[in-house]
Structure 1
Amino acid sequence: MIIVDAHCDTITAIMEKGEEFYKNTGHIDLVRLKKYDGFVQFFAAFISPAHAKMGALRRAADIIDKLYREIEANKDDILLCGNYNEVISAAERGKVAAVLTIEGGDALEGSLSALRMLYKLGVRALTLTWNYRNQIADGVADACTGGGLTPFGKEVIAEMNGLGMLVDVSHLSEAGFWDVLNISTAPIIASHSNAKKICNHRRNLTDEQLLALKKNGGVTGINLCPDFVLSDGKASIEHVIKHIEHIISLTGEDTLGLGADYDGIDTTPEGLEGVQCINSLLNELLKLNYSETLVSKIAGQNFLRVIKNVLK
């Protein structure tokens, strides 16, 4: 069973803490990933608000450089992958498949040429906004304005479709979400977003959005941030499963995957304290009589389908 986690902030985190990827104090490291038979990890270069207004592209370059250096230091165990065939090859060779992403379109600094150069560096997905407005669109924190994609944002979607990049709508305003659905010619992803019906947080997706994602052929990744799992109280595996159950009952088997948000969250649900616990979640689904086929889809096959269809 190949597992795909569509979002983590591990490289940004270890860079800031002065740690290494092989073994560290965070939620994900190579020692733990190597215990899985096949693991595809999306690594985000996170453009924080502190860097968004000045030096965003340089910040992205610094984080990408850190990932490249960590992969070189551990090249026997991890491989940077740009398409489906490379991902499958890495798994067959017993290596972790790393997919490079950027969280925050601020990194483009309003330039399509920057997008094209980032693609050449290996970036294969772009989370269009973080929570706030940028040159591409409004984020969820600015949703009160009703703003969606800007004219530049529409150009970005078209360019990403042409390059073969995954358009990621997590953190995007709802108006921006609908703009993307109307424009994109390829399936999109919400790399780390849950169901708003279960937890009414601005970062989660409405039922209407989830159904539109199904029609588009896209996938959302279940986020383990406790605030997005449970409105109050201490989140657990059981609360995460409520989101899984709701999304599957609403959209069927093909729209759901994993987007843990490890190393981008301060706390985790009980029983899901790090990447070593992903199997605990999958095994709990099997205990609840989810079929092996369905669990395999949630674990990775749904995201692998989109990777195969979109990445070039």
Structure 2
Amino acid sequence: MKVVDMHCDTISELFYRKEEGRGHSVWKNDCHVDLERMEKGDYCLQNFALYTPLDKHERPFEYCMKLVDLFYREMEEQRERIGIVRSYEDILENQRLGRMSAMLTIEEGGVCQGETAFFRDFYRVGVRMMTLTWNFKNELAWPNIVRIEGEEAYFEPDTEHGLTEKGIEFVEEMERLGMILDVSHLSDAGILDVFRYTKKPFVASHSNARAVSSNPRNLTDEMVKMLSERGGVAGINYCADFLHDWQKGEHAVSRVDDMILHMKHMKKIGGIQCIGLGSDFDGIGGDLELKSPEDLPVLEQAMRRAGFTESEIEAVFFRNVLRVYKEILK
């Protein structure tokens, strides 16, 4: 079964390792994702996010451009196995050549520093999807509230603060250029603003159903329904904290059975057409039942046992996301 995964943080993880003198490559490494295991998992396309925490980088645009450079250096070394995607036709060409596809994305719109020129520069170097925020307020929007207590992070919905005037300008420019808008990490108010100020489909690249797991990083039923009606897709996130409401002290495990519960609920609310995959590999820790791309057949088999039809499994694994890419990418 072909796989399209809308989100992983592998490039940022490789960058950290290289800065520490550990010379891992995108072909083979000790991260969650590498090309060898993607091939074993029958991947069609992997989105590679440029994750940039604003609290650690005073010049986020420059730092993110360093991640862009690493992405290109790594992919160019593996050009016979994987091709970089800038348009939907590139995906088809890679399939014709027997290669996987890699799409460059950004996790944290603050890397643009509020400059549309910087944003367009990212588009010019191949970025084709971007979240407006991560866990910090920036020039574009607010995320949902994050409280840090010791080593624990707690999310609370923010229903008051959404897109800024600059954020509205950015989403309009994203639609004009043909860059996919990603509302994962955006505040509740911000997601509703995106519905208000856009016309085309967009995605929540790595977000689950809040009715199943109450973490505000997940989507409410209203959001799932509206996203589906717009033609968008939400990618099932493999992080244990977004799959199940764990009790304090309980050992959290990312379980395939919980992923199935989210899929069933989202299918009930928005239909099978609004569900995709967004692993968040290399951005999540803990015990994972799906430890890497080569484990995706486990999810496929679990969906089949749960009563999903072959066409529904294909829709979740690759067809829904490719439909959005075909419509948005120029």
TM over 0.5: yes
Secondary structure at the aligned position of 2:166 is classed as: helix
1:117-196 mapped onto 2 (5 Å cutoff) = 117-141=121-145, 143-144=157-158, 146-196=160-210
TM-score by length of 1: 0.96
Q: Using the alignment, how far apart are the partners of 2:311 and 2:284 within structure 1?
A: 30
Relative to its length, the structure with more strand (as a share) is 2
Q: Quick one: distance in 2 between partners of 1:44 and 1:188?
A: 16
| Aligned-pair CA distance for 1:145 | 7.0
> Could you say which residue in structure 2 is the equivalent of 1:7?
7
User: SS of 1:100's equivalent?
Assistant: strand
Q: Give the aligned residue type for 2:313.
A: V
SS in 2 for 1:302: helix
Deviations 1:211-230 (A, max 9, x none): 11011110000000100001
**Alignment size in residue pairs:** 310
Once the two structures are superposed, residues 102-153 of structure 1 have per-residue CA deviations (whole angstroms, 9 ceiling, x without a partner) of 0000111110011111101000001110022110000112654711100000
Q: 1:296-311 to 2 correspondence within 5 Å? A: 296-311=314-329
Where in structure 2 are there 5+ consecutive unaligned residues? 19-23, 147-156, 247-251
Change (3 A) 1:163 1:268: farther
Give the alignment of 1:95-134 within 5 angstroms.
95-134=99-138
Q: CA RMSD in A?
A: 1.3
Cα distance in 2 for residues equivalent to 1:7 and 1:106: 18
> Residue 27 of structure 1 aligns to which amino acid in structure 2?
H
**Matched letter for residue 95 of structure 1:** R
Kept after mapping to 1: 8 A contact 2:260/2:306: no
Partner of 1:289: 307
1:228 to 221, 242, 246: 242
Alpha-carbon distance in 2 for matches of 1:279, 1:229: 19
2:229 aligned residue: 215
Q: Which amino acid aligns with 1:180?
A: V
1:255 aligns to 2:274 (yes or no) = yes
Deviation digits for residues 210-259 of structure 1 (CA, Å, limit 9, x no counterpart) = 01101111000000010000111433111111101110111111000000
Segment drifting more, 228-237 vs 58-67: 228-237
Residue identity opposite 1:140 in structure 2: N
Bigger Cα displacement from structure 2, 91-100 vs 143-152: 143-152
Q: Deviations over 1:277-307 (max 9, x none)?
A: 1121012111223111000000010000000
Q: Hey, what's the Cα distance between the residues in 1 that align with 2:309 and 2:96?
A: 24
> Quick check: 1:206 aligned with 2:220?
yes
Give the distance between the partners of 1:279 and 1:26, measured in 2 at CA: 19
Question: Could you tell me whether the CA contact under 8 Å between 2:159 and 2:187 is conserved in 1?
Answer: no
* Cα distance between partner residues in 2 of 1:274 and 1:100: 19
Cα–Cα, structure 1 residues 174 and 204, in superposed 2: closer, same or farther, change >3 Å? same
Does the 8 A contact of 1:247 with 1:256 survive in 2? yes
Alignment of 1:71-86 (within 5 A): 71-86=75-90
Distance between the aligned counterparts of 1:207 and 1:145, measured in 2?
15
Counterpart for residue 154 of structure 2: none
The one-letter amino acid paired with 1:309 is E
The question of whether the paired residues in 1 share the 8 Å contact of 2:253 and 2:286 is answered with no
Residue 46 in structure 1 maps to residue 51 in structure 2? yes
Paired residue secondary structure (1:4): strand
Q: Match for 1:70: what amino acid?
A: E
2:72 aligned residue (64, 68, 74): 68
1:38 Cα offset (Å): 4.3
Equivalent residues of 1:108, 1:114 under 8 A apart: yes
Distance in 2 (alpha carbons) for counterparts of 1:44 and 1:135: 20
Bigger mean CA offset, 102-111 vs 136-145: 136-145
